[in-house]
Structure 1
Amino acid sequence: MGAFLDKPKTEKHNSHGEGNGLRYGLSSMQGWRVEMEDAHTAVLGLQAPGMTDWSFFAVYDGHAGSRVATYCSKHLLEHIITASVSTGGKQGLQVGSDGCSTDTQALPPPAVGAVKAGIRTGFLRIDEHMRSFSDLRNGMDRSGSTAVCFSTLDHKPCNPRERERIQNAGGSVMIQRVNGSLAVSRALGDYDYKCVDGKGPTEQLVSPEPEVYVMVRAPEQDQFIILACDGIWDVMSNEELCEFVKSRLEVCDDLERVCNEVVDTCLHKGSRDNMSIVLVCLPNAPKVSEEAVRREAEVNKYLEARVEEMLSRPREDAFPDLVTVMRNLASDSGMPPLPPGGGLASKRSVIEAVYNRLNPYKEEDGVNTLYKYAPLCVDLLQKIHV
């Protein structure tokens, strides 16, 4: 759902940080959507009693507007911290009236169970708090947002557990949507779906209750964590994205750049949604490899030479557009191995740089050839998984 632009907005928002034994980078792009509805949070070292060794990362995928996603990106963490500290206080933590302590290092960390309960309570509290906002309460703004803060399962209306709750609240699941409209069954906001009399907040058509998982770390095996929105997952599977990120970390240690490559690749694979990704690297993350850098340079050199060859040969017909160039490269049997999970789409910037340098024609409206023929190109790139 949602309207699209004539050409994508490709400007990116980037950030990065390092601390607590972690490094992170993030990238977000509006893409083809008429509005940027994604938001994110990345905090290293929580300013709360005993939690300076904790970090928090989240991606919020908004729908029907950006209001809820934006507010949650700024305030969900404080609700979680307050709830976690309150629960921990029962175990002996001394907390000030503002929910924080001036000496956070001296206090013991809250138990994992307290934080787990705090996350659930924090979600429920911020959802109830936003309900008081006049624009959300009176229906002038009908926005909502999903939230991924670590490992999750998709909350789809057709899942048996979700369908049962929806039907118990008097709703139905049609075309895999709540009442034939909303594609997610749990979200923050979306108050049009949370007004069934006699039902609690977690029993409504759409529930704000998160599923919280505790995963035991395996330091020798754990490499990185990826949090992303549907604009990424629509065109890359878990396995494809992990393989692609791993291959990029072996040739570049700039996490912002790695995230930018993911976003660009997803755009060229045909994603029509907003795109956001947060990449958190653990101490055992892949390191830059001289061999991988060498292979990367060879692939780029090969692509540059092939495009130059295609565009420089004498011809009687019209100068080929970029779609034709991509199609010819896709059928090239001599192509060296491309980045796993990314394929030819991940090399579009290399290909386009040569194409633009040798193209004697200029688009009067400034629309890139690849975007001018977007429907054809999207269909093509979705078939390219070299």
Structure 2
Amino acid sequence: MGAATEVTQPASVADSVEMVSGQASLHQLLSIQDSSIVEFRPCVRSGVWYDIGARQNMEDEHVLIDDLVEYLGSQTAGTTSGSYYGVFDGHDGKNAAQFVKEKLLKYIVSDVAFPVAVEEAVQHAFLETDAAFAEACSVNEGLSSGTTAITVLVLGREIFVANAGDCRAVLCRKGKAIEMSRDHKPNVERSRIEALGGFIDDGYLNGHLSVARALGNWHIEGLKGVNCPLSAEPEVRRAVLTEDDEFMIIGCDGLWDVFTNENAVGFARRKLQQHNDPEQCSHELVDEALRRNTSDNLTVVVVCFQRNPPPRLFPRFLARRQIYPEN
């Protein structure tokens, strides 16, 4: 299980832009952030827990990198810290989830658009990873499988959530649940699917998949390729972290089958107030999902953005006690 660690982001960024292998370093992105929040310093701490659940095989994968600069080594020498997290929910085997886990980040940071246009770099990386897996499957048919994928990239005070499939990321902002991704169920993308000649049968894309976006699945005829209905392109959402942002829950659909966004945030917030440990919180979310009889594999990542536990919230207006004079 992933141990909980913490990385404190520096309070300020230098003005210079370093070039690494002909590309701008992370420093360039961090040096142009909104000056109105320059005083806020996210303290990044994370933990993970997973369980096979009611399935015969565990097909989930995940990645936790609290210190992106340390992980990437000399490629980002002299830059400000960042973090990277991902949950990959495999189907028809685990090979696609393992492949995406291992390759996706490399494609992101090596893209010509990174780090100036992060959304563009991430979108390119998902598609490039998908194409690389197709090539790997053409050499070894035993790899054939698919996976949904959600990644969270934290660069300074900016956070980028990329999703293809039905994993989900939910941010807790001052106790409120903020959905940072959209579940790509076939019915949600019916118009796109039907425009490409696909169909939905009892909620399944072309009668095969319960998601409209995923990586892999090249072995299913008519589902993947040019003008085919299954897409590997992610939706990318960006947010700027402030002192109101407390933590984020990243989980596969096995969690969200039995938790609403608000329910999960409320549950996790109470646990973090008790022990302030993101790994233990992940474990407790998994245990509660099992207690609620989820039928899928479970992988849950909790990323905290504050050093202290979530504060107690009080009503904005408290009813005043009325005192009446005695008659």
Cα distance, 1:155–1:247 mapped onto 2, change above 3 Å: same
Match of 1:240 among 263, 268, 273: 263
Q: Partner residue of 1:29?
A: 51
| 2:97 maps to amino acid | A
**Mapped partners of 2:129, 2:100: distance in 1:** 8
Q: Any unmatched runs of 5+ in structure 2?
A: 9-42, 152-160, 162-179, 313-327
Q: Partner residue of 1:79?
A: 107
**Alignment deviations for residues 262-296 of structure 1 (CA, whole Å, 9 cap, x no partner):** 1111101111111011100012763588xxxxxxx
Q: Partner residue of 2:285?
A: 262
- 1:203-222 → structure 2 map (5 Å cutoff): 203-217=227-241, 219-222=242-245
Q: Which secondary structure does the structure 2 equivalent of 1:261 belong to?
A: helix
User: Is the 2:136–2:143 contact (alpha carbons within 8 Å) kept by the matching residues of 1?
Assistant: no
Q: Partner residue of 1:271?
A: 294
**Mapped partners of 1:193, 1:157: distance in 2:** 16
- 1:282 has 2:305 as partner: yes
**Mapped partners of 1:126, 1:244: distance in 2:** 35
| 2:90 maps to amino acid | G
How far off its partner does 1:204 sit?
2.2
Q: Partner residue of 1:173?
A: 200
Cα distance, 1:38–1:258 mapped onto 2, change above 3 Å: same
Match of 1:64 among 67, 80, 92: 92
Q: Partner residue of 2:126?
A: 123
Higher strand share: 2
- Using the size of structure 1 for normalisation, the TM-score is 0.59
**Mapped partners of 1:185, 1:196: distance in 2:** 10
Report the aligned-residue RMSD: 2.3
| 1:271 maps to amino acid | T
| 1:43 maps to amino acid | I
How far off its partner does 1:144 sit?
0.8
**Mapped partners of 2:310, 2:194: distance in 1:** 50
Aligned residues: 245
User: Is the 1:156–1:184 contact (alpha carbons within 8 Å) kept by the matching residues of 2?
Assistant: yes
User: Is the 1:45–1:51 contact (alpha carbons within 8 Å) kept by the matching residues of 2?
Assistant: no
How far off its partner does 1:164 sit?
2.5
**Mapped partners of 1:116, 1:223: distance in 2:** 23
User: Is the 1:58–1:148 contact (alpha carbons within 8 Å) kept by the matching residues of 2?
Assistant: yes
- 1:54 has 2:82 as partner: yes
User: Is the 2:197–2:228 contact (alpha carbons within 8 Å) kept by the matching residues of 1?
Assistant: no
Cα distance, 1:14–1:284 mapped onto 2, change above 3 Å: closer
**Mapped partners of 1:178, 1:137: distance in 2:** 26
**Mapped partners of 1:177, 1:137: distance in 2:** 29
| 1:87 maps to amino acid | A
- 1:39 has 2:61 as partner: yes
Q: Partner residue of 2:6?
A: 18
How far off its partner does 1:138 sit?
6.6
Q: Any unmatched runs of 5+ in structure 1?
A: 1-12, 89-109, 290-386
**Mapped partners of 2:238, 2:304: distance in 1:** 18
**Mapped partners of 2:4, 2:309: distance in 1:** 17
**Mapped partners of 2:240, 2:2: distance in 1:** 30
Cα distance, 1:27–1:51 mapped onto 2, change above 3 Å: farther
* Larger Rg computed on CA atoms: 1
- 1:169-208 → structure 2 map (5 Å cutoff): 169-193=196-220, 200=226, 203-208=227-232
How far off its partner does 1:181 sit?
1.9
User: Is the 2:59–2:94 contact (alpha carbons within 8 Å) kept by the matching residues of 1?
Assistant: yes
| 2:60 maps to amino acid | D
